[in-house]
């Protein structure tokens, strides 16, 4: 090869190297850009039976972003419906546990406790009380909003929403369900109850906790709960009174003897008459799952099997249905709050194996520099290999080229 030809080749390779490195510098930071916290608000349980004096409505605060905010405030406002007293008024939950709240009927706020602030991919259920004064059917609305201080929400468009609030003349049962995100690994103690042992990692066992309550006017005899787990999560073992399917990711649990009275009849905390129960199912995460990660798509749904109009507590709970009987679904005042979703939140294990330490990819100028250096080194290595290969081809006599390539 002539000297002029070699010089032209090196100039061409150098130009290509410069172009590739330049493209890498401009493209590197775009993929790892952070979005920040992004909160959204939804509501359930806003349909109430006439005759019920109080119902717990839930605001669902979800974090669709990739950061946890430090300070979250929830605001609730009911627009005036005229000079008369509101048929149903909203106020912060009388049971507490939400955070610092202030205001009055018609408008109030709550600054959420730190443990209630949702992390990336998580949802928290914030209870508020609906106090009923009306005696006639009613259709109204209320507005709920969520704000972050002092950070800025990545998408303020979903921070405020308006929801219906209605009173209906339906003297029936009203089951509601709230499911919690699975964030802790657990160990089952001697009493059979799961006890949290720390953050949940791939391969660990956690518990799906869900609360079923009757906020209507009739007693429910028998409850059926249907669970669906996110991909990468299975039931740890065959739960009692449950039938598994879908390779251990779905379960239908039938509690024939579980009787739930209306909340107004549940007045003695020491008796065996219940208006609400909290259930759990043990689940195991895949050891091959990457972390940190939020496994979404879990759902829990509840329905009643039969209804009792009587309020006589001396009536014993019914026994299991006969083999030839078919359970009849209970009419429900507000079926919109019979289902809830949950996520399984996996934390990275220490030591950096597998999913790393939970940090985001390097971005900004440092990423540009590292990306540029990496591409440059890769391209430079290619130039050296190309040059060495060409020298070898030049030095090897034509008759030996075939043996040298093999």
Separation between Cα atoms, residue 165 and residue 50, nearest integer Å: 13
C-alpha torsion 129→73→200→35, nearest 10: 140
**Do 109 and 73 meet the contact criterion of CB atoms below 8 Å apart?**
yes
For CA atoms 345, 98, 78, 172, the dihedral sign is positive
User: Omega of the bond prior to 161 within 30 degrees of 0, cis?
Assistant: no
DSSP at 182: B
Separation between Cα atoms, residue 157 and residue 83, nearest integer Å: 32
Lowest mean pLDDT among 8-12, 25-29, 257-261: 25-29
Lowest mean pLDDT among 166-180, 195-209, 217-231, 380-394: 380-394
pLDDT surpassing 50 at residue 351: no
**Do 48 and 333 meet the contact criterion of CB atoms below 8 Å apart?**
yes
Residue linked to tokens 């929403």: 161
- 3 state DSSP class of 226: strand
- 218-249: per-residue pLDDT in tens? 999 999 999 999 999 999 988 878 999 999 99
**Do 258 and 222 meet the contact criterion of CB atoms below 8 Å apart?**
yes
Residues in the chain: 406
Enumerate residues 6+ apart whose C-beta is below 8 A from 52. 132, 174, 215, 216, 217, 262, 263, 264
Residue range 74-102: mean pLDDT, rounded: 87
CA distances 83 to 76, 79, 80, 86, 164, Å, are 20, 12, 8, 9, 20
Architecture of domain 170-359: Sandwich (2.60)
**Do 233 and 204 meet the contact criterion of CB atoms below 8 Å apart?**
no
For CA atoms 248, 250, 256, 260, the dihedral sign is positive
First to last CA, the chain: 23
Lowest mean pLDDT among 1-5, 367-371, 392-396: 392-396
pTM beyond 0.85: no
Quick one: 35-169 is in which CATH superfamily?
A: ntegrin, alpha v. Chain A, domain 3 (2.60.40.1510)
Q: For the chain, how many helices (H) and strands (E)?
A: 3, 21
Residue 348's pLDDT is what?
85
Residue 266's pLDDT is what?
86
DSSP strand pairing (47-49 vs 160-168) = parallel
Residue 75's pLDDT is what?
97
By 3-state DSSP, what share of the chain in percent is helix, strand and coil, each rounded to 5?
Answer: 20, 40, 40
Residue range 288-302: mean pLDDT, rounded: 94
Enumerate residues 6+ apart whose C-beta is below 8 A from 186. 194, 195, 196, 197, 205, 206, 207, 282
**Do 307 and 221 meet the contact criterion of CB atoms below 8 Å apart?**
yes
pLDDT surpassing 90 at residue 95: no
Enumerate residues 6+ apart whose C-beta is below 8 A from 346. 200, 201, 202, 285, 289, 290, 291, 292, 293, 294, 295, 355
Would you list the domain boundaries of the chain? 3-33+363-405, 35-169, 170-359
The reply to whether 170-359 shares the fold of 35-169 is yes
| Of residues 191 and 71, more confidently modeled | 71
Residue 108 — very low, low, confident or very high, per pLDDT cuts 50/70/90?
Answer: very high
**Do 340 and 369 meet the contact criterion of CB atoms below 8 Å apart?**
no
**Do 109 and 173 meet the contact criterion of CB atoms below 8 Å apart?**
no
Residue range 74-79: mean pLDDT, rounded: 94
- 29-72: per-residue pLDDT in tens? 444 455 899 999 999 999 999 999 999 999 999 999 999 999 99
pLDDT surpassing 70 at residue 406: no
Residue range 193-203: mean pLDDT, rounded: 94
């Amino acid at each position: 090869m002539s000297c002029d030809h070699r010089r032209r080749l090196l100039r061409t390779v150098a130009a290509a190297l410069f172009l590739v490195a330049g493209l890498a510098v401009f493209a590197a930071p775009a993929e790892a850009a952070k979005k920040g916290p992004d909160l959204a608000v939804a509501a359930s349980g806003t349909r109430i039976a006439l005759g019920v004096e109080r119902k717990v409505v839930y605001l669902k605060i979800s974090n669709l972003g990739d950061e946890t905010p430090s300070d979250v405030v929830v605001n609730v406002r009911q627009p005036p419906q005229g000079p008369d007293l509101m048929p149903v008024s909203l106020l912060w939950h009388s049971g507490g546990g939400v955070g610092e709240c202030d205001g009055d009927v018609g408008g109030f706020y709550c600054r959420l406790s730190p443990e209630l602030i949702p992390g990336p991919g998580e949802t928290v259920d914030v209870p508020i009380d609906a106090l009923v004064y009306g005696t006639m059917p009613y259709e109204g609305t209320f507005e709920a909003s969520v704000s972050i201080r002092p950070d800025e929400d990545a998408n303020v468009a979903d921070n405020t929403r308006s929801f219906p609030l209605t009173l209906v003349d339906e003297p029936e049962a009203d089951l509601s369900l709230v499911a919690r995100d699975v964030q802790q690994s657990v160990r089952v103690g001697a009493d059979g109850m799961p006890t949290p042992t720390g953050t949940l990692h791939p391969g660990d066992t956690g518990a799906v906790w869900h609360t079923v309550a009757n906020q209507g006017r009739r007693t429910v005899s028998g409850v059926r709960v249907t669970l669906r787990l996110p991909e990468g999560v299975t039931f740890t073992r065959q739960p009692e009174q449950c039938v598994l399917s879908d390779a251990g990711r779905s379960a239908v649990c039938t509690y024939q003897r579980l009787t739930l009275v209306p909340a107004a009849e549940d007045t003695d905390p020491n008796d065996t008459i219940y208006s609400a129960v909290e259930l759990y199912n043990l689940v195991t995460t895949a050891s091959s799952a990457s972390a940190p990660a939020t496994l979404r798509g879990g759902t829990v749904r509840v329905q009643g099997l039969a209804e009792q109009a009587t309020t006589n507590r001396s009536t014993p709970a019914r026994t299991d249905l006969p083999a030839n009987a078919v359970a009849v679904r209970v009419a429900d005042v507000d079926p919109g709050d019979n289902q809830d979703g949950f996520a399984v939140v996996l934390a990275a294990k220490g030591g950096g194996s597998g999913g790393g330490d939970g940090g985001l990819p390097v971005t900004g100028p440092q990423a540009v520099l590292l990306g540029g250096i990496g591409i440059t080194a890769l391209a430079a290595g290619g130039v050296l290999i190309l040059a060495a290969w060409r020298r070898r081809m030049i030095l090897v006599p034509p008759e030996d080229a075939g043996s040298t390539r093999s």
